[in-house]
């Protein structure tokens, strides 16, 4: 299961994102379970989200997985923009999103950390997104992306056969 664990100012948090197999081998998965919890107090959010009516089905979530796989490259990237007038460029940020999940990634080289901001849709009938932040190791970030990518491919072979190599 694709799970990322990290910390924020409130303690240790984890997020799990798993495609749910359809139950029929001829059908690709169309739903994902997203669970967010704190290690000292239980579940914060647990919802099922769908990609069923999306034109490209799993592509947006797969691209999120790929962003995590590539996230360690953000460690050394700076922009020429210097908002703080510090003489150093600001961190390079990477954004990827879908209808119900959006992420922003950036690296902190001195700490060997990847920072992740998750924006998660709270209700299916709403555009309101809940923000969740964590810092994690670059290794943890890459592993989360790798696990998610493999899970998407394993439960959606038809989608993968149509989209690999694009």
Residue, of 62 and 27, whose pLDDT is higher? 62
Average pLDDT of the residues of the chain: 90
Domain spans of the chain, in order of start:
2-163
CA atoms within 13 A on the CB side of 115: 15
pLDDT confidence of residue 158: 86
The pLDDT of residue 115: 96
Q: What percent of the chain has pLDDT over 70?
A: 97
> What pLDDT does 72 receive?
94
pLDDT in tens, 129-164: 999 999 999 999 999 999 999 999 999 888 888 877
Decide if pLDDT at 166 tops 70: no
CATH of 2-163, picked from 3.40.390, 2.30.31, 1.10.8, 2.60.40, is 2.30.31
163 or 114, higher pLDDT? 114
């Amino acid at each position: 299961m694709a799970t990322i664990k990290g910390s924020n100012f409130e303690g240790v948090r984890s997020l799990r994102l798993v495609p749910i197999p359809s139950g029929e081998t001829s059908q690709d998965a169309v739903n994902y379970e997203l669970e967010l919890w704190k290690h000292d107090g239980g579940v914060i959010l647990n919802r099922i989200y769908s990609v069923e009516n999306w034109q490209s089905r799993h592509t947006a979530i797969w691209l999120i997985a790929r962003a995590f796989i590539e996230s360690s490259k953000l460690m050394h990237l700076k922009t020429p923009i210097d908002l703080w007038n510090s003489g150093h460029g600001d961190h390079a940020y990477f954004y990827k999103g879908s209808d119900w999940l959006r992420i922003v990634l950036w690296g902190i080289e001195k700490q060997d950390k990847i920072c992740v901001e998750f924006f998660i849709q709270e209700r299916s009938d709403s555009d309101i997104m809940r923000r969740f932040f964590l810092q994690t190791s670059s290794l943890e970030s890459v592993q989360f992306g790798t696990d998610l990518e493999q899970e998407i491919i394993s439960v959606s072979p038809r989608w993968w056969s149509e989209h690999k190599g694009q």
